[in-house]
Chain A
Amino acid sequence: RKEVEQDPGPFNVPEGATVAFNCTYSNSASQSFFWYRQDCRKEPKLLMSVYSSGNEDGRFTAQLNRASQYISLLIRDSKLSDSATYLCVVNAYSSASKIIFGSGTRLSIRP
């Protein structure tokens, strides 16, 4: 089993739709969780950190489910500019050195 798994997609949804991705992780001792977005041929950019209590930033909501070992990202009222690959990142230890990136989920928003 991979340490961090994501549905590769692509998710193809109309503008204005709500879309959700999950990311599962295998190490129950994982400490830190993040969502990044990566545009084609660009570097990953931090979208949001994921806190135990869940957090929201505008149209984006991130949740952590420790019991089932997954994190989720919900995008409401999707825009064309949301088209990108979304990477989940899990830090398996309380150190910067054991960072695992998922393979990413590709999202395409159509007009």
Chain B
Amino acid sequence: ETGVTQTPRHLVMGMTNKKSLKCEQHLGHNAMYWYKQSAKKPLELMFVYSLEERVENNSVPSRFSPECPNSSHLFLHLHTLQPEDSALYLCASSQDRTGTFYEQYFGPGTRLTVT
């Protein structure tokens, strides 16, 4: 596999469920990101991991919990979500060095519907 992969591609879950989104990058990058894209809104940066450490949490509710076990894998654990959390969740990776930001490569996204 090449690039950035995400599973599942589609997910429907109830508000009381617990599920996880998975992202894997095959580019040798050292930074990974979670974004949320809602209809007619710009991409919202949720979390950033650089060298497996979380470096950014953009005031995301605690019902979203990220996990980065190594530089190639990123998870987003979901629990007790709300209908307004329905969106496209995109994972991205980049090669990050302090002082220089490199371009990001995105996975195909998980389209999440909360019922």
| Residue B61 is within 8 A (CB to CB) of chain A in the complex | no
Residue in B41, B55, B103 with the greatest tally of chain A CB atoms within 10 Å: B103
Within 8 A of A (CB), among B13-57: 31, 33, 40-43, 45, 48, 50, 55-56
Chain A residues in 8 Å Cβ range of B41: 103
Kindly list chain A residues whose C-beta atoms are within 8 Å of the C-beta of B98.
Answer: 94-95
Judge whether A45 and B106 touch: CB under 8 Å. yes
Q: Which residues of B contact A87 (CB under 8 A)?
A: 42-43
Contacts of A102 in B (CB 8 A): 42
Q: Which residues of B contact A44 (CB under 8 A)?
A: 43, 90, 106
Contact of B108 among A31, A42, A49, A99 (CB under 8 A): A42
Chain A residues near B100 (CB, 8 Å)?
Answer: 94
Question: In the complex, are the beta carbons of B103 and A96 less than 8 A apart?
Answer: no
Q: Known: A34-B103, A46-B103, A91-B101. Contact between A99 and B109, CB under 8 A? A: no
- Please, how many angstroms separate the alpha-carbon atoms of A105 and B48 in the complex? 26
Whether the pair B48, A96 counts as a contact (CB closer than 8 A) is yes
B contact residues around A57 at 8 Å (CB): none
Q: Pick the contact of B42: A94, A98, A103 (CB < 8 A).
A: A103
**Subset of 9 A-B contacts with CB under 8 Å:** A31-B101, A34-B103, A43-B109, A44-B90, A91-B101, A95-B98, A97-B55, A99-B101, A101-B43
A-B contact count (CB 8 A): 58
Docked-complex contact B45 and A43, CB < 8 angstroms: no
- In this complex, the interface size class of chain A, counting residues with CB under 8 Å from chain B, is 20 to 34
Would A96 and B55 be within 8 Å (CB), given that A102-B42, A103-B41 are in contact?
yes
Complex contact B106–A99 (CB within 8 A): no
Residue from B31, B50, B99, B108 within 8 A of A43 (CB atoms): B108
Output the least CB separation between B24 and chain A (Å): 14
In angstroms, Cα B100 to Cα A43, docked, is 24
What are the residues of chain A within 8 A of B50 when measuring CB–CB?
Answer: 96-97
- Which of B40, B55, B99, B101 gathers most chain A CB within 10 Å? B101
Smallest CB-CB A-B distances: 9 pairs: A97-B56, A43-B106, A101-B43, A96-B96, A103-B42, A101-B42, A91-B101, A97-B48, A32-B101
